[in-house]
Chain A
Amino acid sequence: MEASCHFAATRAAILDLRAWLAEGGLPEADLAAWELALVEAANNAVKYADAAARQLPVLIELSVGERDVEARITDHTAAFDWPAEVNLPDADSESGRGLFLIKSLTDHAAYERHPGRNVLMLRRARTLPGREVSPDVNQLQNRLADAESALTDMTAELSSSYESLVALFRYSSELGAHADLKDFSQRLLKDLVLIAEADYAVLRLISPDGNKLETLLVLPAAGNAWLDSVDLADALVSVEAAAARNCEDVWFGPEEPLGKNDPLRAVMPAGIGICHAFFVAKQPVGTATLGRQQADKPFTAAQVNLLHTFVDFLAIQIVNARLLDERTVARVTRRELEIAADIQRSLLPSSIPACPPFEVAATCRSALQVGGDFYDIISAGDGALLLVIADVMGKGVPAALFAAVLRSTLRSMPQLFNQPGELLATANRILFPDLSRVDMFITAQVAYLDPRRQKIVTANAGHCPLLVFEPGALDAMALRESGFPLGIEPLSRYAQSETMLPSGGTALLYTDGLSETRNAADELLGEGQLRRMLAETAAQTCDADAGKQILLGRLADYCNHQPVNDDQTFILIRHIA
């Protein structure tokens, strides 16, 4: 094609050539490259033409081969040296990019000088259809399809995760307002059924004894099918028991049907299902089972994830609620024990009346605020004393209250102080109805200390024996005669014993917290060792108060000064020479 030697003409010619190349089936990328390369070549042919050359046309020849396209541009300029290397000019330069573009857009460029004319030869490989496409288009399409389906799955999972997240946040905020675990579980399970596109759900919790799965919820509730609890041992019968025992999800459906006697059949007679056992801190908490009527529509991985997420969240809430309950109970109990200890302390006599030639010292040490022990020392007239030591079976406020009642009851019968047996029998008759109603009883020992006759008159209602140590004896002796504790029999009778307490003699009334003191090896002190301790104490001092301190010290030594786990209460009586 020939074009007059000016820019507009060459430009128009090149547009025609472009159209011709397009008809030849060249792709757009090749067309654009040739358009620009030819424009740049023609520009030079025009730009450098002198007045004479302007009269001659610019010739552009194109040949399209199978593999490449060649162009020959003939100009009539004075020609120039085709540089070996073509570099981009400075960014600010307004010219000098033409050759660079030609070189960049073609694979080969050569400038031939001839007499009176110059020929620029350009060659560029054709972009063949499919050259840029991977030879294995099928493989690529398969990968694309895989990627798309993975993307669809991820989107589905993301949206279900989003739903579950939103739901869980809602539950968390609701939980503060409603502490009812069952109500909460029901709403959570309903949402789970909806989101996971299930038809049934069963939620069971491990029973407190850890042996059974007890039904908490069955959805839909309208089904009216209630499920009896399942023995965890029945793993062969019940998929729920199997899931809980083996710590794994169990799937069931047409290929792995529920056992003939599986209780779940009552709720899910057909279809498919999955049973998920849930744990907190590796402790099984319960099972959740989702069922779907359509057996040919298995649960997707995303739906199984939903089940796990929801139920594991629920498990934490269940365990938290239980811990909260336990802590509340513990707090109430602690407060109760503090009250009990206050009552117990208030019952103890603030001072001990003198009773020469006897000296009396007493202590009541409560172990960790547990209060069932008490003692009382009352003036009984004629210089005598009534000593009472008792242990109310049970702990806390009820035990302390009965201790108070016993104390008042005994104090209200001064006429019977010198008859301890009768005193206990009467007290038993008065207290029996109240004690038996709450299945409580009291062991007690009453001692009438008679200084005139230098005797101790005692009666015992199921309490530890009175220990008496006489100077010169090898061991203390124990007065074992005893009747029923108070509150066991309405008409119990109590034998009365009289024991001489000679000069230098020592007697001990105590509660079993003393003989049951344990050492580091967890061995009980026992009555025998307590008797020996008493004998040693008696040999060391003749002062009741000092004796009390020595005995306390020995007991502390025995248990290696660890806090004792039962009350330690005793009354020490000393006959001062």
Chain B
Amino acid sequence: MKLQNPNSQTTLVTGLLELVAANAAQVRDEIRAALPSTTVCLDLDLSAMTFLDSSGLGTLISLHKTLRSRNGTVRLIKPAPNVQQILELTRLHRVFEIVNG
């Protein structure tokens, strides 16, 4: 996992491969810790993600709430079809801004 700050307001997280019970809390805490206080747009690149379970969804929601408290947003970038399916199954595609292509 890698965090970049293309500008003072945006943080891009890449290299997320799986977000499951085994790593969900850790990923959440690492991102939170590394998140600059000026970031209001958190872009999570999900293009490499192969699997996501309900704990992973919890991480996404946790980050979403963090950003919302700053009047910011979390954007999910290019989720793979199976990840997109899980988001839709749990209706969370309505919560996140999903950027395809």
Contact = CB atoms under 8 A, between A and B. Distances in A.
B21 A7 contact: yes
15 contacts: A6-B22, A8-B22, A11-B18, A39-B51, A40-B54, A43-B21, A43-B54, A88-B90, A91-B61, A91-B94, A94-B62, A95-B55, A97-B58, A100-B90, A104-B89
Contacts of A435: none
Give the dominant DSSP class at A's interface.
helix
Given A39-B53, A97-B54, A46 B21 contact: yes
A95 B21 contact: no
Contacts of B57: 97
A104 B57 CA distance: 16
Given A32-B85, A35-B51, A36-B53, A92 B61 contact: yes
Contacts of B86: 36, 101
B95 A95 contact: no
Contacts of B58: 94-95, 97
Give the dominant DSSP class at B's interface.
helix
B65 interface: yes
Interface of A: 6-8, 11, 32, 35-36, 39-40, 43, 46-47, 88, 91-98, 100-101, 104-105
B17 interface: no
Contact of A11 (B20, B65, B85, B89): B20
Given A7-B21, A11-B21, A95-B54, A101 B90 contact: yes
Interface string B88-101: 01111011000000
Contacts of A8: 22
Which of B18, B62, B82, B94 neighbours the largest number of chain A CB atoms within 10 Å of its CB? B82
**8 closest Cβ contacts across the A-B interface?**
A7-B22, A94-B58, A97-B54, A7-B21, A98-B54, A43-B21, A8-B22, A39-B53
Interface of B: 18, 20-22, 51, 53-55, 57-59, 61-62, 65, 82, 85-86, 89-92, 94-95
A96 B58 CA distance: 9
A94 B60 CA distance: 8
Contact of A47 (B21, B62, B91): B21
A3 to B, nearest CB: 12
Contact of B53 (A6, A43, A91): A43
A436 B95 CA distance: 102
B65 A91 contact: no
Contacts of B51: 35-36, 39
B91 A88 contact: yes
B91 A91 contact: yes
B65 A39 contact: no
A40 B20 CA distance: 9
Contacts of B59: 94
A47 B55 CA distance: 11
B90 A40 contact: no
A35 B20 CA distance: 12
